[in-house]
Amino acid sequence: MTGPRSTELLKRAERLLPGGVNSPVRAYRAVGGHPPFIASASGARLTDADGTEYVDYVGSWGPAILGHAHPKVVAAVKAAAERGLSFGAPTELEVRFAEAVIDRYPSIEMLRCVSSGTEATMSALRVARGFTGRDVIVKFDGCYHGHSDALLVKAGSGAATFGNPDSGGVPASVVENTATLAFNDEAALRALFRESGARIAAVIVEPVVGNMGCVPPEPGFLQTLRALCTEAGALLVFDEVMTGCRLARGGAQERFGIVPDLTCLGKVVGGGMPLAVYGGRRDVMTKVAPLGPVYQAGTLSGNPVAVSAGLATLAELGPETYVLLESLGARLEAGLTAALKSTGTAGCVQRVGSMLTLFFHPGPVRSWGDADRCDRERFGRWHGGLLGRGVYWPASQFEAAFISAAHTEADIDATVKAATDALK
């Protein structure tokens, strides 16, 4: 039950905003109940408009890796804001930010800042098409790469949550060059490359899927993908908007030892501000205007306040942060797995580092075909039980939960207790 102030705000919001929200996964229609309206956040905790406090596992859908309102990030943002909010001109901060990203991602030789993950993936694919002179892009069912037209095909995240994996309003002609495959299906991948490899501009993939819940790649899958792309002259695009700087300092590509041609980053690199990145091989990125013919632009791209938040966040993410995130993640995974067992619930917990999902499916969940068979109704009841016990969990079976460096072992243990009680 949300409090009276959130309920009143939702009523006002529903008259003004579709579903009362500015992004569909924030609405609680897939889980029942109403979303609490958030008034403030600090560390691992959110406080809603009624003063109720929650331990947060959404983390703004990924950016809050240090916890909310980290003092150093807030100080950097304040200092930047006092120097001016936006110039629409180059700044030293952008150069330092690009250096910081490239230092973490050896596969990125040049990058462009944009304002959202959607822009990053859309632009990366435009560059891939411009570079290769080919039209076909390949994505995997249940992966979500933002809401640009060509990528809203068999999409995960909110699109899957609300039953619109192929969105309305997208002309068939726009998606006729988007091919889709099941994630982790190596045989289908090989077959597609055998038939159409010479027509493929790029394959875009979440190396660890977060947008159908957390689904890791099976051993060898990413390696096969890399080899097939290289052989066919197609570009491999890693969408690391969720995994970037989260699963390791250099993201999933460092963790799995794969070198993509292009990478998309967002969320963590923006430190909670609207900032994302696409970048990669120099010979590919020099096709971007003004060096090359592929056009892409943005008034707020590389915004100084956003870049300051990103730089301050990256500076705080040392090796010890990843050790901490791994151990907190393992603790939550073990606790939730025990909760499923002790309550006799058919479910499984899948985790990579600090990304995790409890699926109401006996598991393993290897692809969208598996995820789609989860017990959504059971997830909704569990979600409501968590919320009532002060745990703010993603309001969709098909979104990963995130742990931050501000969570403590005591938070995790209290969450496991709440999760167990909510399963009973």
> Residues with catalytic annotation?
144, 239, 267
Contact predicate 355/243, CB 8 Å: yes
Contact predicate 311/96, CB 8 Å: yes
For 187, 321, 400, the CA distances from 394, given in Å and listed in that order, are 33, 23, 7
Nearer to ligand HOZ, 131 or 368 (CB): 368
Q: Over the Cα atoms of the chain, what is R_g?
A: 21
Q: Which residues pair with 264 in a beta bridge?
A: 239, 278
Residue from 28, 57, 61, 183 touching ligand HOZ (CB under 6 A): that is: 61
Determine, following the binding rule CB under 6 A, whether residue 211 of this chain makes contact with ligand HOZ.
Answer: yes
CB of 51 to ligand HOZ, least distance (A): 25
Residue from 20, 158, 271, 274 touching ligand HOZ (CB under 6 A): that is: 158
Q: How far apart are the C-alpha atoms of 112 and 91, rounded to whole Å? A: 13
Backbone torsions φ then ψ of 277, nearest 5 degrees = -145, 140
Determine, following the binding rule CB under 6 A, whether residue 399 of this chain makes contact with ligand HOZ.
Answer: yes
User: Alpha-carbon torsion 250, 256, 262, 264, what sign?
Assistant: negative
- CB count in 10 Å sphere of residue 78: 11
Nearer to ligand HOZ, 29 or 331 (CB): 29
Nearer to ligand HOZ, 114 or 192 (CB): 114
Nearer to ligand HOZ, 228 or 371 (CB): 371
Residue from 144, 183, 322, 360 touching ligand HOZ (CB under 6 A): that is: 144
The closest residue (CB) to ligand HOZ is 23
Nearer to ligand HOZ, 158 or 380 (CB): 158
Nearer to ligand HOZ, 58 or 201 (CB): 58
For 44, 122, 262, the CA distances from 110, given in Å and listed in that order, are 34, 17, 10
Nearer to ligand HOZ, 158 or 274 (CB): 158
Contact predicate 65/56, CB 8 Å: no
Contact predicate 242/210, CB 8 Å: yes
Size of residue set near ligand HOZ by CB under 6 A: 8
Secondary structure (DSSP) of 285-354: HTTBTTTSSB----TTTT-HHHHHHHHHHHHH--HHHHHHHHHHHHHHHHHHHHHHHHTT---EEEEETT
For the chain, give percent helix, strand, coil, nearest 5. 45, 15, 40
Is the backbone peptide bond immediately before 290 cis, with ω within 30 degrees of 0?
Answer: yes
Nearer to ligand HOZ, 144 or 393 (CB): 144
CB of 160 to ligand HOZ, least distance (A): 10
Determine, following the binding rule CB under 6 A, whether residue 276 of this chain makes contact with ligand HOZ.
Answer: no
Q: What number of helices (H) and strands (E) belong to the chain? A: 15, 14
Determine, following the binding rule CB under 6 A, whether residue 392 of this chain makes contact with ligand HOZ.
Answer: no
Determine, following the binding rule CB under 6 A, whether residue 107 of this chain makes contact with ligand HOZ.
Answer: no
- Between strands 200-205 and 136-140, the pairing is parallel
Residue from 9, 10, 13, 25 touching ligand HOZ (CB under 6 A): that is: 25
- Between strands 136-140 and 53-56, the pairing is unpaired
Determine, following the binding rule CB under 6 A, whether residue 157 of this chain makes contact with ligand HOZ.
Answer: yes
Determine, following the binding rule CB under 6 A, whether residue 18 of this chain makes contact with ligand HOZ.
Answer: no
For residue 125, the Cα-to-chain-centroid distance in whole angstroms is 18
Per CB under 6 A, residues contacting ligand HOZ are: 23, 25, 61, 144, 157-158, 211, 399
